[in-house]
Structure 1
């Protein structure tokens, strides 16, 4: 999205960046061409909030129909069985699924750490798949015995969390333009971690110059916890622990007052809008129009693979369009507004200042070619961007990251045998974790 639509246009890629765009008849010579005839070309979608490991417990029957905290309590014991291989394979499968949905960059908050070096396993998977990856080192340090929601097996000490966070940043974080890998620091939520962890993490992020991420104003339970524990609303506590800045982006931000939205806008703190997940859990969704009116940058996120139960950023974008119109009326948002949230503004959530989310010279070469199916799009002739989001469902013809096709002609370019092995291994771990090893 460099600005204007280009009917019948082209995008040229060179050396991992966009070399240029133009109209039909002006195409430069190319070593290789991928056809976009009859399709819509957009920047790659950017996912600003996810919990990929949860695809190991998708649609888990005993937890369906629960609100957030009861849902978490039903699943926490299962997640205690997650190990390094389960995390690597679940991340691999989740990233491949994201690519098949037109996503080229994703963050991920893995906050359950029953075993060490789980983020390292995620990074191995991301390098193998080839998706641009921003892992947010999640954390829980408040166990049930101390008044938190999580069992002790999933919590760590503040010292362990901070030490591993610094190790990950120093080992993997790449701040350069076009980076394929950046680390953020991400205590899960103020209702599941100590005040000390929030304060110390903010200080560490400042010292290491990395971004901060957490859930904020996601549920009424969180609001009740902050009021009872700190005598403050979640946003007031967020500011108290030193997070109110443009270094942070937060997920959800549903249960808020106008002054709280205005405060985030003033700080430059961005929001990952994930309406599919929060609506599925009965919490509703943030008002995208109200956030934008307050000057808040809003990106889109798939959120939990065991609450949303999918990893399609296209589907999340369509949900965001309908949610915005339900909250603000038919004129509250257009498909272009949502596409911007899924690209330019999502990249801003992740702190990208290298043109990510745009099709402009010098920007990272992340491009999606969307098939406009003859049945789903029959009759849609006046606006291909509106048709892209209102019709469908839509799958990419091609998904390119850093100029490399991850999806070509609708199929993953990863070896078929590798994909089959990963899905088989994933099924084994998912059934083991859910207690279904006997085949029932």
Structure 2
């Protein structure tokens, strides 16, 4: 018997495949079958009536820094450019420990689930204490989130021309040893995995050439994906010109990172020829609309990159820049940015939704199983909810209404065949205790008595 049957739904299953008034059946942790109103659904142990609401694949967050929700809206940093913003917050993040990383990850994942995200990566590049990513995997297991950890790293301190203080950088051997340990302990390359690991030196201005090159070597040896920030700020261009006598993209290419196993965050400031070269190399790009607008540094031209053949996903980025972790918000802002840059005919809700699903899954090298709801896909989906007043009059196109109206939240979120959000509320009973602990940790990190 089928485990869960969702009926009376407008199904957005994949690019160019929608079923109005349809049903979708889940067996164990996979999509079993789908059908329209003229087809009889199978019997199921549980039936969820979507009430005509939109059902989509779970959104995929392809770039995040979960620990940063401990320093959201930190007043001294709210009006700073990227480099100054980082230098203002690095001393606070030096206080991270196992408890604060666990609770910040837990709260981040709950917030992501409520915003329609079912798979999230996290780029954890601050390691003032050992084994912090282990705590992230513990939080993911406790919640049931599909999680792709990226072992970030910094080696170049301020004294060496980088941005972080010396107590937040690590030597290359320590980093590489911990990468090997994490991959052995947590990386699951099997189909339907709930946890995977990628390698992610944070950026070329805070990571040495050696760690970039040796991370590439390890990734090729262990068949891992690679991730970093690239082209996020014009100051990065100045740094690479002075340090390497070339642009960030040129240095990226010199180190061998321009390959299909790599996805990069932001990529706001490449030249047209560099975008063309990156497309030919097969890299993927994550646009982070809200963060880029909040920090005032522009945003990647996602439409242009997609037209050139680059797979583009969406990311929330650090909670301290966006001050939220809603993939619905990121998807809406991606649509709006595309329309502002290229006109109203250039982009609608479906193009933005494709970036938030298939695009994000492609960044993670996982678009065979997540980012769509074709039979056989992982059972990760969202039944969307919005206030009836906000949707009044929106009766011709539920996908467009989903982004143009709203705000929308996850009414029901299912990950790996398990209901994790129901009636717009997370099913985790420990949430209140976690919020209290998070408040205590945030006060400690921000040095507020």
State the TM bucket, normalised to the shorter chain: over 0.9
Structure 2 portions without partners, runs of 5+: 1-12
After superposition, give the CA deviation of every residue in 1:119-163 in whole Å (9 maximum; x if it has no partner). 001100011011100010011110111111001111100001111
- Take 2:391 and 2:307, find their aligned partners in 1: how far apart are those partners? 33
- Aligned position for 1:111: 125
1:21 to 18, 34, 51: 34
SS for the counterpart of 1:89 is helix
Matches within 5 A, 1:3-22: 3-22=16-35
1:51 to 49, 52, 65: 65
- Aligned position for 1:429: 441
> Scaled by the length of structure 2, what TM-score is found?
0.96
Note the C-alpha offset of 1:15.
1.5
- Aligned position for 2:260: 246
Note the C-alpha offset of 1:354.
3.0
Note the C-alpha offset of 1:372.
4.1
- 8 A Cα contact 1:38 1:372, kept in partner: no
1:171 has 2:179 as partner: no
- Aligned position for 1:314: 328
- Take 2:266 and 2:363, find their aligned partners in 1: how far apart are those partners? 13
After superposition, give the CA deviation of every residue in 1:94-120 in whole Å (9 maximum; x if it has no partner). 001100111000000011100000000
1:200 has 2:214 as partner: yes
- Aligned position for 2:115: 101
- Aligned position for 1:60: 74
- 8 A Cα contact 1:13 1:365, kept in partner: yes
- Aligned position for 1:226: 240
Q: How many residues align?
A: 435
- Take 2:332 and 2:131, find their aligned partners in 1: how far apart are those partners? 36
- Take 1:198 and 1:105, find their aligned partners in 2: how far apart are those partners? 26
- 8 A Cα contact 1:40 1:372, kept in partner: no
Q: Which runs of 4+ in 1 moved over 2 A?
A: none
- Take 2:176 and 2:246, find their aligned partners in 1: how far apart are those partners? 25
2:173 to 159, 163, 169: 159
Matches within 5 A, 1:25-424: 25=38, 26-415=40-429, 418-424=430-436
- Take 2:398 and 2:195, find their aligned partners in 1: how far apart are those partners? 32
- Take 2:44 and 2:419, find their aligned partners in 1: how far apart are those partners? 15
- 8 A Cα contact 1:354 1:364, kept in partner: no
After superposition, give the CA deviation of every residue in 1:302-336 in whole Å (9 maximum; x if it has no partner). 00100001000000111101111111111221100
Structure 1 portions without partners, runs of 5+: none
Note the C-alpha offset of 1:353.
4.3
- 8 A Cα contact 2:284 2:310, kept in partner: yes
- Take 2:367 and 2:20, find their aligned partners in 1: how far apart are those partners? 27
- Take 2:58 and 2:49, find their aligned partners in 1: how far apart are those partners? 16
SS for the counterpart of 1:370 is strand
- Take 2:239 and 2:74, find their aligned partners in 1: how far apart are those partners? 27
After superposition, give the CA deviation of every residue in 1:180-222 in whole Å (9 maximum; x if it has no partner). 1110000001011111111111111111101000000000011
- Take 1:178 and 1:354, find their aligned partners in 2: how far apart are those partners? 10
- Take 1:177 and 1:341, find their aligned partners in 2: how far apart are those partners? 22
SS for the counterpart of 2:44 is coil
SS for the counterpart of 1:34 is strand
- Take 1:306 and 1:35, find their aligned partners in 2: how far apart are those partners? 37
